[in-house]
Structure 1
């Protein structure tokens, strides 16, 4: 009797000969690159450093594309965006110590946003591990300890034979729901030593399916079928699971209104009769959701932004489908279903009954009308016009990446459809390097990045990257002379702002010094100037001098 786990795959005679006679001139770095190719990786991001040179030398012998950014944190943001738009694990090659630590904030964003980034860092030589006593350049006492609290999993290598298995395990971890960044580290001497190990070919690292418990989905289906006022909150887990079609089918079967969180934008059609859009920072929206007798939350932990700053208090029965066990029922008691959104929604669609509520669409229209009326009384026409002009200039299928800036905060609520931002961890500097990562994934369509002048200074160096690789990234910089949202927060809280005003360069001249075409625009010419920049090949910069205001908070 033979069990599945007893099956041995026997190599062919040709495979055996090739394994016994590997090509000369290979080092440990080649095992890294060969494993990545065997897993299906086609593009890597990173920045070389002394201890990591073995990996970068191996890239020279590989068919993989390399996108080298100028700052490790920006390389991490680029890998994050590549992972978000492709759904594939994005390799990020880093050096030791300072080079590795520079990527920490980007990995925090990837963790908060469940982006599958595969960070592979070098280490000091094996003899220097475990104590910080040897005085190696870049040495840390416990490098992996600096990342363990941020990434999803940590994988260490101490010999060349461990490289393929460690990277495969990390790849599998990154792509098993919930997606997330993972950490692999390999000592310098292991990367540089010549190897006689066979060439790594196909590698099996199939992610695990996260399947819901059937008794829980049965209860959920019963609650939803018999609900009087069901409603749905769709989070980023729906987008990552490619489950928007199933979400729409369920909403239509139940006649249930749907609101998308800021991370879940694009999970539900913006103009659908059941779409409450994304006005999560609005009491009219959260009052409506609180009144639902059965509230289905899919792919969201209902954190700070998704709960109107923790003022959201649902009164009915809540069902929460969440792949991240740490987020399941972390903020509200619920029927918690630990599962991938797509699989769980499929299970619900098999058993949920059909209900009809002619008043549902009317209720949605009433809520959205109240939202518009509230905004109309705040003298915010300029902000709404700018956002509309940007949307009109951007081709429908072009992705956009937004830094932490006032226009992005508007976009979270008001942008019609999908967008990507750094609202997971909230660090500055995300927009432009992330757009570079998306453009590397698909250089046939334009990509928009949006930053304020403060956030733009975090990533100015990447103009050189965009130019070097001739990537179709248009960077809209809204220049308000400082950290605009902090200026507004401090003025509201203390009567005046401190440390928010910034000296800044002439962004147009600076971009042109990199060989990147740039234009200074106005609200009146924004659509035309931005449209021309997006239509032109290669990178470009559009600078909009404007002081914007946020809409008044409604959670107080």
Structure 2
């Protein structure tokens, strides 16, 4: 009960977890509390759900996990969250003192659970006495609130979990830290550089999604195009003349960046999956670089800046906006060249996929797309324009795991129950987490899954063909997805054409039941014709 009360003090309202013999005591306090519990069918699903919840809510996703196999199962999800800087609190058990790491074969025993987790967490901490729990949580939320937000792991030895904590006080109000503000001299130096710029540009990444208002104001004041990474999509809305959602891995976007004399990079680590997806090494920044980031190590990594600013993206952008001089620099015309350039590197197939996504977005401007590694997502990452921040995200960048889409969509729906949430999945990745169909049904979360069935790992197969590698292991036996969906109590549909697919999405968006919509390559090919007429 003590743990639950502490979590409530930090505003935690949802926990994802699977009760086990080593964690059931954690559940004693959940009963009667204000914390909702959602049960996934696999600990990896719990981590993905927490990830999706965190991205949409802005609060850390919290998981209760058993020692041993529970931790090995959730490590992949923690790796994805670590790579994308997502706040996640994983609270696990570990064998009792005297048993942990003994090598005697106690249930769920690992040689060193903390060592396993350390590489995918900001830190991992073992609570050796009940008195250490509150300080450990305070440290975790300090990371979430004021540093680069990554997973934190806190483990409770079973004997500590069972120890009395009635004597420990629960604070009425916990101390919360704010993100650091930029230094005045750093802002002044950046202002001088921006005021003297003839063709500035802003590169906005996932670390800037909570700063969309401030970035928009700054961009409009200095008349600078804003190029958004995959995780930064929606910082500027689709109709904004300064917005660019075309990947910086493409020639037209790169030409714009290379022609810019001052590059202001906000909350982006310059990851290759955004800036050098094809690993051709041609991404270059000849101009002077200003970097704003919460993580000082990343400011001095990959692209070294002329000026580095350690601080919150929103606060720093607001400080710059208040101090820079207004100026007309043909920003809209420069951005338009990228959006309309016929040599933008978007193939007809990519344009067709983006057409599907944008047709749904136009139907439902508040839609949240949560993607697995699949064809629509690969295309969307290269050119989809999101209506708002944190409304388009997926696992196809950075760490790049499979099986993410549906469980992360469940977490997103838990965070935003009144918005349509659509998981984008392929038949291969979907089978990594197909059991989470039960979780959505059980939790009463009516997500929509758009499942592209091309009977295999289509992207990998194409790559193997291009490299003249025998296509072994990529043509998959695919089950009856419609039958599986029905067995789990979902509404199921098969879309034979684009109009059917859009109509099914419209129907599903108003349903109180989760909906699985299966479609094939014929729908993708039809979408291509819509973009070539």
TM-score by length of 2: 0.92
Deviates further, 50-59 or 505-514: 50-59
Deviation string 1:124-167 (CA, Å, 9 cap, x unpaired) is 012213x3333211111211111111111222201112222212
Q: Distance in 2 between matches of 1:387 and 1:140?
A: 44
Partner of 2:214: 246
Q: C-alpha displacement at 1:82, in angstroms?
A: 1.0
Structure 2 residue 397 is the aligned partner of structure 1 residue 429: no
Q: C-alpha displacement at 1:88, in angstroms?
A: 1.2
Deviation string 1:444-492 (CA, Å, 9 cap, x unpaired) is 3331111011110011111111111111201111111111111121111
Partner of 1:21: none
Selected match of 1:270 from 207, 231, 238: 238
Partner of 1:529: 504
Q: C-alpha displacement at 1:495, in angstroms?
A: 5.2
Q: Distance in 2 between matches of 1:191 and 1:35?
A: 14
Q: Distance in 2 between matches of 1:86 and 1:538?
A: 22
Selected match of 1:340 from 302, 307, 312: 312
Residue 407 of structure 1 aligns to a residue whose secondary structure is helix
Partner of 2:531: none
Partner of 2:331: 360
Partner of 1:469: 443
Q: C-alpha displacement at 1:61, in angstroms?
A: 4.1
Alignment of 1:175-186 (within 5 A): 175-186=145-156
Partner of 1:139: 109
Are the aligned partners of 2:252 and 2:344 in contact in 1 as well (CA < 8 Å)?
Answer: no
Q: C-alpha displacement at 1:384, in angstroms?
A: 4.3
Alignment of 1:434-453 (within 5 A): 434-453=408-427
Q: Distance in 2 between matches of 1:80 and 1:181?
A: 9
Q: Distance in 1 between matches of 2:142 and 2:332?
A: 42
Partner of 2:6: 35
Selected match of 1:419 from 386, 392, 408: 392
Residue 51 of structure 1 aligns to a residue whose secondary structure is coil
Residue 59 of structure 1 aligns to a residue whose secondary structure is coil
Q: Distance in 2 between matches of 1:495 and 1:99?
A: 37
User: For the pair shown, which has the larger CA radius of gyration, 1 or 2?
Assistant: 1
Partner of 1:503: 477
Residue 410 of structure 2 aligns to a residue whose secondary structure is helix
Are the aligned partners of 1:387 and 1:411 in contact in 2 as well (CA < 8 Å)?
Answer: yes
Are the aligned partners of 1:77 and 1:430 in contact in 2 as well (CA < 8 Å)?
Answer: yes
Alignment of 1:192-207 (within 5 A): 192-198=162-168, 200-207=170-177
Alignment of 1:149-228 (within 5 A): 149-198=119-168, 200-228=170-198
Distance change >3 Å, CA 284–CA 222, structure 1 → 2: same
Distance change >3 Å, CA 231–CA 108, structure 1 → 2: same
Are the aligned partners of 1:91 and 1:118 in contact in 2 as well (CA < 8 Å)?
Answer: yes
Alignment of 1:260-339 (within 5 A): 260-309=228-277, 310-334=281-305, 335-339=307-311
Q: C-alpha displacement at 1:402, in angstroms?
A: 0.6
Q: C-alpha displacement at 1:85, in angstroms?
A: 1.0
Q: Distance in 2 between matches of 1:174 and 1:486?
A: 36
Partner of 2:322: 350
Residue 128 of structure 1 aligns to a residue whose secondary structure is coil
Selected match of 2:227 from 234, 249, 259: 259
Deviation string 1:236-278 (CA, Å, 9 cap, x unpaired) is 1110xx2111111111111111110111001112221112223
Selected match of 2:430 from 436, 440, 456: 456
Residue 191 of structure 2 aligns to a residue whose secondary structure is helix
Q: Distance in 2 between matches of 1:381 and 1:204?
A: 49
Gaps of 5+ in 1: 1-29, 552-556
Deviation string 1:66-110 (CA, Å, 9 cap, x unpaired) is 011110011001111111111112211101011111000111111
Distance change >3 Å, CA 468–CA 380, structure 1 → 2: closer
Deviation string 1:373-421 (CA, Å, 9 cap, x unpaired) is 7547x5666434433443344x211222111111001111222214011
Partner of 1:543: 518
Structure 2 residue 75 is the aligned partner of structure 1 residue 107: no
Distance change >3 Å, CA 263–CA 80, structure 1 → 2: same
Distance change >3 Å, CA 291–CA 465, structure 1 → 2: same
Q: Distance in 1 between matches of 2:349 and 2:141?
A: 50
Q: Distance in 1 between matches of 2:331 and 2:68?
A: 56
Are the aligned partners of 2:357 and 2:380 in contact in 1 as well (CA < 8 Å)?
Answer: yes
Are the aligned partners of 1:400 and 1:420 in contact in 2 as well (CA < 8 Å)?
Answer: yes
Residue 316 of structure 2 aligns to a residue whose secondary structure is helix
Counting matched residue pairs gives 516
CA RMSD, 1 decimal: 2.0
Alignment of 1:510-521 (within 5 A): 510-521=484-495
Residue 15 of structure 2 aligns to a residue whose secondary structure is strand
Q: C-alpha displacement at 1:363, in angstroms?
A: 2.2
Q: C-alpha displacement at 1:503, in angstroms?
A: 0.7
Partner of 1:10: none
Selected match of 2:357 from 374, 387, 410: 387
